[in-house]
Amino acid sequence: MRALAYERRRLLGLRSTWLILAGALCASAAVAALGARQAAPGVLSPDEAVRLVTAAVPRLPVQLTALAAGVLGALATADEVRRPGLTASQVRWVARLRLLVGKLVLIGAAAAVLAVLTLLLDTVAAWSALPPGTSTPRSLAPDLIRADRHLLLTLAAFLVVTVATGWTGVLATALTRSAIAGLLLVAALPTLVSALIVPSVLELLRRAGSLASPFAVSQVTAVAEPLAPALLLFAACLLVQARRRSF
């Protein structure tokens, strides 16, 4: 609990935290509104509506919100490297591990809140910018989302991707001790995982009969791309921290 309180004060005390959160929300809403203005007349398909409310940009490895969470995690960890606040307690491996877990919990919570706020704000922005003659699908009504398992899984995948990318930013920066290197890993690792690891995982799941539809394949791919790097980096951080004398 002491590590969480320390990390909360440190995270909320950084000016960059609020600038990143505000910039991510504004940029995401702008992308959603721009995409809505370009929508064709008629009823949007559920997939198109989900792309609007998550502000998905085709050429980016993850959504803007997830990238912002990665930047937030990287800068928060880089600030700890530059200005360590617990120098005396960082000598012990357990204390440094507790500090790392505290950062992951706080960044994960901030990323989850950012993802929820993004969905709410992008929904309002997209709905306000829809051209005349275009409407959202009835399946995206709040009372029907709970009954649509595919939509629930898609929105849950967006939340997981955002949190996992925030963790990747923390872990990559803790491993390299450089915000720039951490941000480069945040941008590059999802693409590398998609090319090298995801095809093998999908093939194993197909053989086991766990993937019965293209929707399942897309959701597994979307979640595995940021989550696999976070798990690998966490294992690497555990080993590296055991050999270091500071965070």
* Average pLDDT of the segment spanning 2-26: 83
42 forms bridges with which residues in the sheet?
A: 134
Q: Is the pLDDT of residue 152 over 90?
A: no
Of the listed ranges 55-64, 66-75, 167-176, the least confidently predicted one is: 55-64
Please provide the average confidence, as pLDDT, over all residues in the chain: 77
SS (H, E, C) 140-159: HCHHHHCCCHHHHHHHHHHH
How many whole angstroms separate alpha carbon 72 and alpha carbon 170? 8
Distance CA 169, CA 181 (A): 10
* pLDDT tens, position by position, 153-208: 778 888 988 999 999 999 999 888 888 888 888 888 777 766 665 566 555 555 65
pLDDT of residue 144: 43
- 43 in helix, strand or coil? strand
Q: Give, in order, the Cα–Cα distances in Å from 43 to each of 56, 119, 134, 151, 169.
A: 19, 20, 6, 17, 38
Among candidate residues 162, 159, 4, the one with its CA nearest the CA of residue 73:
162
pTM: 0.81
Distance between CA atoms of residues 31 and 51, nearest Å: 10
Phi and psi dihedrals of 146, rounded to 5? Answer: -65, -25
Which own/partner pairs from 91-99 qualify as long-range (CB within 8 Å, at least 24 positions apart)?
91/245, 91/246, 93/241, 93/242, 96/241, 96/244, 96/246, 96/247, 97/238, 97/241, 98/3, 99/3, 99/6, 99/7, 99/247
Which pLDDT tens digit goes with each residue over 220-246?
A: 666 666 777 788 888 888 777 766 666
Task: Domain ranges for the chain, please list them.
Answer: 2-243
Ranked by mean pLDDT, the top range of 19-33, 44-58, 71-85, 87-101 is 19-33
- Cα torsion angle, 122, 128, 132, 136, sign: positive
Q: How confident is the model at residue 217 (pLDDT cuts 50, 70, 90)?
A: low
